[in-house]
Amino acid sequence: MEYPVWVEIGQGGVVKATLADVSETGARVLIDHPSKLPDQVVLRLTEAADPRRPCDVVWTTETQLGLHFDKPAVASKRTVRVA
């Protein structure tokens, strides 16, 4: 599996990454310089930030990030207008 995702790293920072594997409880993400990330991030499945998954970083390698989902997916409160 290779799916584009975005990782919120706090204070408005967002890093583009690739979702390599996902389960009900977590995910493995391919990302540059994962050791520079905080212990908690938000995984976004779209660039527009919906849905969002708050995560704990549980492990890192030189190119990968292991995430554990803190809670179920959170939908944003934005309103979508249909013409």
Instruction: Find the CATH number of the domain harbouring 14.
Output: 2.40.10.430
Domain tally, the chain? 1
Question: Is the Cα torsion angle 45, 46, 51, 57 positive or negative in sign?
Answer: positive
**Model confidence pLDDT, tens digit, residues 44-82:** 988 887 788 999 999 999 999 999 999 766 565 555 555
Per-chain mean pLDDT for the chain: 85
Q: Is residue 55, in this structure, part of any structural domain at all? A: yes
**Model confidence pLDDT, tens digit, residues 42-51:** 999 888 877 8
Q: Is residue 74, in this structure, part of any structural domain at all? A: no
- Sorting pLDDT into bands at 50, 70 and 90, what band is 31? very high
Domain of residue 12: give its range.
Answer: 3-69
d(CA 43, CA 9): 9
Q: Going along the chain, which residue ranges are E strands?
A: 3-10, 13-22, 26-30, 40-44, 52-60, 64-69
d(CA 57, CA 26): 10
Mean pLDDT of 3-7: 94
- Sorting pLDDT into bands at 50, 70 and 90, what band is 29? very high
Q: Is residue 79, in this structure, part of any structural domain at all? A: no
d(CA 43, CA 54): 6
